[in-house]
Structure 1
Amino acid sequence: MNGPLEFEAIGTRWWIRAEGLTERIEADIRRRIDEFDSVWSRFRSDSTVARWAAEPAPRNGAERTLVLPAEAAPLGRLYRELHELSGGSVTPFIGESLVRLGYDAAYSLTPHGPAVPAPVWGRDARWEDQTVSARGPVLLDIGAAGKGLLVDLVCGVLEDSGVSDYLVDAGGDLRHSGAMAERIGLESPFDSSRAIGVVAVQQQALAASGTARRAWGRGLHHVLDGLTGEPVRRVVASWVLAPEAIQADGLATALFFVPGQELAARYGVEWLTVHSDGHAEGSEYFLEGLF
């Protein structure tokens, strides 16, 4: 194949540059993405999580369980850590709140009712290894870290095919492997046509989270606080550099609720947060690249 691979999938634009990319590898990548989407997408009525959420709750109040693929185990562990670090604000059980505010399967962007807190982890629902359990209908939403996980899985397809020099970018969440670093622009959360800085990425993953890309109505966007179901207001954008995209993606979301110094001390990552008043905080690696 000549040139990078570009396509739309899971509601975002993918851009993959890889040495040795073939049509067979491209087919394997597309197949892996579709497999992931068929399990995790809450925008598909036929997905595993959507069908489970639509099942009626047992009349006797018994728990319902959902057994997920192997990739669910590291995703669930990360969610559990971030849930605890954020005091419950980061949660995979936030799907119903997003639907109520209009970020639903039809992308209606029209609120259907007031925001509601997410089901309480450990009381109403829980996630252990590959199994999610709940006493009532629960709509999973893995938007906080799921795209990062899928980027890692696509990189795994490349590596299993003998490709070691690549850049996989899924709508700004990316992972790099190779001898030459990539300089990546940091999009302004206040003007998407401008960058507020650049960062060099080499043998790492970079993830961004922001309130501007998926925003609608008056003050509505997709980054919700699980404790209230309401959109966050204090932070407007965040970035994290980490060894893997799942970690970078999850921690970028956590920065809306947890001080960056705390996440850096625990995970050893580089980070940047932009607040609604325009000021930025971050590790020196990011700050020295700001314009």
Structure 2
Amino acid sequence: MVGMSQLQQRMPYTTAFPDALGTGIIIRSAQPISPSMKQDLQTFINEYDATLSRFRSDSLVGRMAAANCGGTYEFPDWALPLFHLYDALHTASRGAIDPCVGEDLTRLGYGADMTFTVEPDAREYTGSIHGRPTWRNDVERHGTTLVTQRAVHLDFGACGKGYLVDLLARRLRENIGGTGSIEGIGSTGNEWLIDAGGDMAINGSDAAQPVSIGMEDPDDTSNAIGIAHMSHGSFCASAPSRRHWGAAYELHHLLNAIDGLPARGVAATWVAVSTSDETDGSPATGARPGTAPNTAPGDTAPGSTPEVARTAALANRPGVSTGTPTDTAADATFTAFPTAAADGLATALFVTEPDRLAQYFTFSCALLTPDRRAMMDSGFPGRFLTA
């Protein structure tokens, strides 16, 4: 396993983009990133934000939200796979994941003005059940051209950070090496890790020396309640703990698009999408099908409670499902953009059953409920720490 000191030795170079997407992006690499390469990455980050940010009135998404009579909007070519992924998530979640939730978030106080004050009549308008526009019915798409008939407030937050990570990873592969499959990883000189506020793409060189990732406790963000290990792939987490308002997490950004209200049944999720064969369900990375996840005696998490120890495998799933894609485009997108997929699935698990999502995507996951019940796929590359 690779701890922080070893990670710094293997990937001693750090390139930071502190203002990217509001959370910042850090790239660790075995080789230095040249000033021209860093500028190229920054330029693309700026373009990405100017296209998709719902917090900017001058962005393409911002202009769509302000167009009461709708319009025709040409998005860059790089946006097409993102649209395909949302098509798949919308289908897999039965409409509970929908980028049109931007309107709901604004009504609940999480808009561009950041008032965090709920509109008095918000509950009468939030969600598709109250006539809010939907991705399927109110956004006509022709490739990367979106056509609307009324104002549509898009929010690509479910997959947005992960998708940007994947696009940056492509640029890194072109410049300092690394591939999307373990056979081509090659030397340690091509190692790198991209971290966008906990959404990670990892390009390691040795499956026997994976990177260790702490699984943050949603009730205490200074504490880890689990640990995961990956050498090559994508790892994303989601929880309302860092983006909530109102008393006792009453309101947060993880909405069910059907009623437009914050999801309540899940406290935190973690999703791994391996781009190698490292997530194989062996005892080293998780539990065998039908058993509790691997927990070594003596593993403890400071501040953890006995409830965290009540782990269980998720519905006898082996973790890496067969995955039935919604269509060819969605399947290709999942393969080519694993961090976006992991990011979207980490959100979808708040509003959709894991087994339902496993019918469409290949992934492994762990989740924690509000009453501190911890569940984990047998193929998840990690474990919960127990008292």
The alignment status of 1:99 with 2:106, answered yes or no, reads: yes
2:61 aligned partner, one-letter code: V
Does the 8 A contact of 2:229 with 2:381 survive in 1? no
Task: Describe how 1:173-188 pairs up with structure 2 within 5 A.
Answer: 173-180=199-206, 181-188=210-217
8 Å contact kept, 1:77–1:129: no
- Which residue number corresponds to residue 287 of structure 2? none
Distance (whole Å) between structure 1 residues aligned to residue 162 and residue 374 of structure 2: 23
Asked if structure 2 preserves the Cα contact closer than 8 Å seen for 1:64 and 1:135, the reply is yes
Match of 2:223 among 194, 200, 204: 194
SS at match of 2:260: coil
Q: Cα 1:159–1:288, aligned 2, differ >3 Å: closer, same or farther?
A: closer
Residue 138 of structure 1, aligned match among 143, 152, 162: 152
Q: Is the 8 A contact 2:99 2:135 kept in 1?
A: no
Hey, what's the Cα distance between the residues in 1 that align with 2:257 and 2:148?
16
The 5-angstrom pairing of residues 211-290 of structure 1 reads: 211-218=240-247, 219-242=250-273, 243=275, 244-286=338-380, 289-290=383-384
Deviation at 1:202, TM superposition (A): 1.7
Offset at 1:162?
A: 2.7
Contact 1:260-1:272 at 8 Å conserved across structures: no
Given that 1:74 and 1:129 are in contact with CA atoms closer than 8 Å, whether structure 2 keeps it comes out as no
Distance 1:215 1:202, change over 3 A: same
Q: After superposition, what is the alpha-carbon deviation per residue over 1:197-248, rounded to whole angstroms, capped at 9, x for unaligned? A: 1111121011111111110013000011111111111111111111410111
Moved >6 Å (runs of 4+): none
Contact 2:93-2:357 at 8 Å conserved across structures: no
Q: Compute the displacement of 1:275 (Å).
A: 1.1
Return the alpha-carbon distance in structure 2 between the equivalents of residues 126 and 105 of structure 1.
25
Higher Rg of the two aligned structures: 2
1:15-54 matches, cutoff 5 A:
15-20=26-31, 21-54=33-66
Structure 1: state its 5+ residue gaps.
Answer: 58-62
Residues in 2 aligned to 1:266 and 1:101: alpha-carbon distance in whole angstroms: 31
Q: Distance in 2 between matches of 1:288 and 1:16?
A: 23
Instruction: State whether residues 17 and 168 of structure 1, in contact with CA within 8 Å, keep that contact through their aligned partners in structure 2.
Output: yes
* Amino acid in the other structure paired with 2:138: D
- With structure 2 as the length reference, what TM-score do the two structures score? 0.70
Is residue 2:106 matched to residue 1:84? no
Amino acid at match of 2:350: F
**1:268 corresponds to which letter in structure 2?**
T
* Superposed counterparts of 1:62-81, under 5 Å: 64-81=71-88
Q: 1:287 to 1:5 in 2, by over 3 A?
A: closer
Larger deviation: 103-112 or 82-91?
103-112
Q: How much has 1:27 moved relative to structure 2?
A: 1.0
Distance, in Å, in 2 between the alignment partners of 1:285 and 1:187 is 20
The sequence identity of aligned pairs, in percent, is 37
More helix as a share of residues? 2
Q: Secondary structure at 1:148's aligned position in 2?
A: helix
For 1:200 and 1:188, how far apart are their aligned partners in 2? 17
Structure 1 residue 191: deviation in Å?
0.7
Say if 2:23 is the partner of 1:12: yes
- CA-CA distance at 1:149 after TM superposition: 0.4
CA distance in 2, matches of 1:16, 1:65: 36
Which residue of structure 2 aligns with residue 160 of structure 1?
174
Runs of 5+ in structure 2 lacking a partner?
Answer: 1-10, 179-190, 276-337
Contact map agreement 2:67 2:150 (CA 8 A) in 1: no
Counterpart CA distance in 2 for 1:252 and 1:44 is 25
Deviates more, 1:21-30 or 1:86-95: 21-30
Query: For residue 364 of structure 2, what is the amino acid of its counterpart?
Result: E
Counterpart contact for 1:241–1:269, Cα < 8 Å:
yes
Give the 3-state SS of the residue equivalent to 2:104 in structure 1: helix
**Number of matched residues?**
286
- Could you tell me how far apart the structure 2 residues matched to 1:159 and 1:281 are? 35
Which one is further off, 221-230 or 119-128?
Answer: 119-128
State whether structure 2 residue 133 is matched by structure 1 residue 119: yes
Q: CA deviation at 1:2?
A: 6.6
Q: Which residue in 1 is equivalent to 2:284?
A: none
User: C-alpha offsets along residues 83-122 of structure 1, whole Å, 9 cap, x if unaligned?
Assistant: 1121111001111110111111122212234141141343
> 1:210 aligned to 239, 253, 257, which one?
239
